Amino acid sequence: MVCEIVTIGDELLIGQVLNTNQAFIAEKLNSIGIDVGRMTTVGDSSASILQAFEEGMQRADIVIVTGGLGPTHDDITKKAAARFFDSELAPNPELRTRIEEIMQTRNIAWTQAAEEQTMFPKNASIVKNPIGTAAGMLFSQGEKPFIILPGVPYEMEAMMEQSVIPLLAPLVHGSVIRHHTLRSSGIPESILAQKIGPLEEILDGAALAFLPSAAGVRMRITVHAGDEPSASQKIQQVEKRLLEKVGRYVYGTGNDELEQVVGRLLADRHLTISVAESCTGGALADRITNVSGSSAYFERGVVVYSNRSKTQILGVPDELIQLHGAVSKEVAQAMASGIRSVAGTDIGVSTTGIAGPTGGSPEKPVGLVWIGYSDRSATLAIKFNFGQFRLNTKNRATQATLELVRRKLLQID
Amino acid sequence: MVCEIVTIGDELLIGQVLNTNQAFIAEKLNSIGIDVGRMTTVGDSSASILQAFEEGMQRADIVIVTGGLGPTHDDITKKAAARFFDSELAPNPELRTRIEEIMQTRNIAWTQAAEEQTMFPKNASIVKNPIGTAAGMLFSQGEKPFIILPGVPYEMEAMMEQSVIPLLAPLVHGSVIRHHTLRSSGIPESILAQKIGPLEEILDGAALAFLPSAAGVRMRITVHAGDEPSASQKIQQVEKRLLEKVGRYVYGTGNDELEQVVGRLLADRHLTISVAESCTGGALADRITNVSGSSAYFERGVVVYSNRSKTQILGVPDELIQLHGAVSKEVAQAMASGIRSVAGTDIGVSTTGIAGPTGGSPEKPVGLVWIGYSDRSATLAIKFNFGQFRLNTKNRATQATLELVRRKLLQID
């Protein structure tokens, strides 16, 4: 079963925004065994949109379109679709109720634009938008599903997950493609590959891709099989062999984030944590609190950007900072034990470093980061160098701190 | 003059990697006045590639292709191109010299793969690759330039800048395209459009697009003109008319981020800021410290997730929390003035809300956020509702807090 993805928007054709929607949709479709045959991007022009619709319908079994469903003049996808499917736009009471609700909740007055959002093609079904006012559309002419979603990524993503995938999954039968991803942290791609060794025996017909990023290296296993059970079995086999080789670096699978994994470990053990950040500037607390329910184990965080705040909130002695500098093993340790003590938590962690691009010196170059850890049995700090780029250093230091906590909790050396 | 971009690669169709090449090429072409009419992505299959080549040549004046020029089995673009242009692959001495040089420098032994890299279509010209071994190709059949580049982003980017743009720029005459983006915050797309009113008079031939995201709505002005000075003048005119209508919501232009704008305002006025976060969980401090040099005005942040930490660090009276709840106007105000006082900064801001997805009640639903602000003349708090989704609420509350600071600094009501 083959799908084509059509993304609409002048902002894409001028290179102003990255087309993340295409990749998101493709990945979701793949996960249920639907291949993407082609991706097409056209601008906000009726002729281009209609041509792309026509071609997609000719070539593919399913067409998914995003973009141009908003309330302003350049949003012409709805009209183009109505024309393409010989339909009329009519006021839709269900949509009106939904839009009124949203505008009431957000305390926004009713406008002509809202009125137009209530118009909907007569022969389409609504694909519910759990977040915004622009509804998605499903046309089912000739048994080929033709689905139109808004281009705003978080709205589109919610609709793909909650409505489109459940709708399409039952249509797929025959052979299946399954992907399974192992997520590692704290080890470079080349060393990971070396530790895994020759692939033929491990993979036995499956495929493996290494996907490096600032968060770590993902390993993606791909299996083609006759049915779901044999695909699952094959993936389990390959996963088991990989974990035997490099399991200690693997913190999760699929879309697991390290903060979720660490959060579960803390919650299961009834442990609490607090963080004292300098160079990560709040990114660590932000990651931890992205997890729903984190208030059960996250007591507090402090972003101690000034030396005064390190002393005042954490009790780091001013002399220690004068003697070793704010970016030092001693201060990282004092920050970790300080936050642990003042917050009264089981674990305290800290970051202090030179995020750059300025402020480096020969002994303390840009990218140098000390990460501190303290629990009731020990306080320690580890040195890293994360390179030249400020945001990359913040990300990598945050990830390394979470990974340090994971390894401590699991007693991995 | 219209160009089509064809990107080739299975990794794109399965959503494994983002298609950054498309956006890069489009932006470069736009900068020299070439429109992109369509972007197409196909997999590593000869039939799909040939079909995309055919369609591109029919519709466009220029075709640029990336991907599938590497040395491994799945790189088939060169063969497809030779077939499409009725050419033969033959050993190319210039290429051989170049590849030998690279392999010597990198100390890599000559391989069969290298041998195949020296083969080149007889009727194409070489587009030099200053970085890697895969040469680009230029076919000029029927006076339409047809250019093929490798898919590795940094190689492709260097070739676009050093070879392709200088080659194409002289073909464009008589017109330039210029874009200019205004970034707004704190106003929905529909209300923004309403306040701007009828567009014809404002735009006077220019185009305007609205691009909404969690951070706000961007307005992109596009102008086609005879030359650079008239394009600039036209953009300035349209910008001025838009700012007259909705200037108070516009925090920046181009790639400005709100934290950079607020940072500049604080630095220029020699003011300092500190933040007390509950529901944003560190995201606000993270945004502020993404700006290099932020240590000059950002004194500290605290993430007071527990009630105890609100009392202990900020001096928020326990009775106030008991009486009004942690998510309340009173507590937001006490947090903002508390952090301002303890940190000794000119401004203190705070967030407290129900990020969800659990923890809501009829009076205090998920998405409710109070944002507090305190300076030496006043302390206040404003109520928002950002909806059901935890990360979206964190993002939107962070943006709204920065926007509140911006408006206060500029004395916009």
Select from B28, B214, B304 the Cβ nearest to the Cβ of A300. B304
C-alpha B296, offset from chain centre: 27
Q: Which of B14, B100, B402, B157 has the alpha carbon at shortest distance from A39?
A: B14
pLDDT of residue A109: 84
Q: A199-213, pLDDT tens digit by residue?
A: 888 999 898 887 777
Is B43 within 8 Å of A23 when comparing Cβ atoms?
Answer: no
**Token pair recorded at residue B163:** 């070879």
Residue A82 has pLDDT above 80, yes or no: yes
HSE-CB at A225 with a 13 A cutoff on CA atoms is: 19
Interface ipTM > 0.90? no
pLDDT at B86 over 80: yes
Instruction: Among B282, B293, B299, select the one facing A289 at the smallest CB separation.
Output: B282
Please determine, for residue B73, whether its predicted confidence score (pLDDT) is greater than 70. Answer: no
B391 interaction partners in chain A (CB closer than 8 Å): 290
Q: Is B50 on the interface with A (CB under 8 A)?
A: no
**Chain B residues lying within 8 Å of A309, measured CB to CB:** 299-300, 343
pLDDT of residue B245: 96
Q: Which residues lie across from A36 on neighbouring strands?
A: A3
Q: Domain-by-domain residue ranges, chain B?
A: 2-171, 176-253, 258-409
Instruction: Verify whether the Cβ–Cβ distance A41 to B42 is below 8 Å.
Output: no
Q: How far is B91 from chain A (nearest CA, A)?
A: 32
8 Å CB contact between B278 and B305: yes
Q: Is A254 exposed, middle or buried (0-12, 13-18, 19+ CB in 10 A)?
A: exposed
Length of chain B equals 413
- Can you tell me the mean pLDDT for B99-111? 80
Could you give the percent of chain A with pLDDT greater than 90? 75
- 3-state SS, chain A, equals CEEEEEEECHHHHCCCCCCHHHHHHHHHHHHCCCEEEEEEEECCCHHHHHHHHHHHHHHCCEEEEECCCCCCCCCCHHHHHHHHCCCCEEECHHHHHHHHHHHHHCCCCCCHHHHHHCEEECCCEEECCCCCCCCEEEECHHHCCEEEECCCHHHHHHHHHHHHHHHHHHHCCCCEEEEEEEEECCCCHHHHHHHHCCHHHHHCCCEEEEEEECCEEEEEEEEEECCHHHHHHHHHHHHHHHHHHHHHHEEEECCCCHHHHHHHHHHHCCCCEEEEECCCCCHHHHHHHCCCCHHHCEEEEEECCCHHHHHHHHCCCHHHHHHHCCCCHHHHHHHHHHHHHHHCCCEEEEEEECCCCCCCCCCCCCCEEEEEEECCCCEEEEEEECCCCHHHHHHHHHHHHHHHHHHHHCCCC
Lowest mean pLDDT: which of B115-124, B170-179, B295-304?
B170-179
Distance from the Cα of A10 to chain B's closest Cα (Å) equals 8
- pLDDT for B176 equals 80
Answer yes or no: are the C-beta atoms of B350 and B309 closer than 8 Å.
no
CATH class of domain segment(s) B258-409 = alpha beta
Q: What class, spelled out in words, does domain A2-171 have in CATH? A: alpha beta
pLDDT digits (tens, 9 = 90+) for B232-270: 999 999 999 999 999 999 999 998 999 999 999 999 999
Pair A245, A197: CB distance under 8 Å: yes
pTM for the predicted model, two decimal places: 0.78
**What band does B84 get if pLDDT is binned at 50, 70 and 90?**
very high
**B285 contacts in A (CB within 8 Å)?**
277, 281-282, 285-286, 303
CA angle A329, A264, A343 (to 5 degrees): 45
Of B24, B193, B295, the CB nearest to A113: B193
Please tell me if residue B339 touches chain A, with a CB cutoff of 8 Å. Answer: no
Rounded distance between C-alpha atoms, residue B180 and residue B253, angstroms: 7
Residue A173 scores a pLDDT above 80: no
Domain A176-253 is in which class?
alpha beta
CA angle B20, B25, B27 (to 5 degrees): 95
Which of A7, A72, A102, A388 would best serve as a mutation to test chain B binding (most B beta carbons within 10 A)?
A: A72
Which of B1, B303, B308, B349 best tests the A interface by mutation, with the highest count of A CBs <10 A?
A: B303
For residue range A380-410, list pLDDT tens digits in order: 999 999 888 899 899 999 999 999 999 999 9
Handedness of CA B146, B151, B153, B159 (dihedral sign): negative
Instruction: Please name which of A297, A250, A202, A276 lies closest in space to residue A403, comparing C-alpha atoms.
Output: A250
The mean pLDDT of A359-363, rounded to a whole number, is: 90
Mean pLDDT of B22-45: 93
Q: Is the distance from CB of A381 to CB of A370 less than 8 angstroms?
A: yes
Q: What percent of chain B has pLDDT over 90?
A: 76
Please give the Cα distance from B310 to B288 (Å, whole number): 21
Residues of A in contact with B390 (CB under 8 A): 290, 292
Interchain contact, B18 vs A23, CB within 8 Å: yes
The predicted pLDDT at position B314 comes to 97
Tokens coding B351: 């967030």
Q: Tell me, yes or no, if the two domains A2-171 and A176-253 fold the same way.
A: no
Question: How high is the pLDDT of residue B74?
Answer: 66
Give the C-alpha separation, B66 to B45, whole Å: 14
Query: For B271, phi and psi rounded to 5 degrees?
Result: -105, 155
Range from A329-333, B32-36, B290-294, B406-410 carrying the lowest mean pLDDT: B32-36
Write down the pLDDT at residue B154.
Answer: 84
Nearest by CB to B42, from A38, A295, A305: name it.
A38
Kindly list the residues from chain A whose CB atom is less than 8 angstroms away from the CB atom of residue B48: 37-38
Closest Cα in chain B to A394: B290
- Which tens digits make up the pLDDT trace of B318-368? 999 999 999 999 999 999 999 999 999 999 999 999 998 888 999 999 999
Reported as a pLDDT band with limits 50, 70 and 90, residue B149 is very high
Check B22 against A10: CB less than 8 A apart.
no
- CA neighbor of B68 nearest in space, from B110, B13, B115, B144: B13
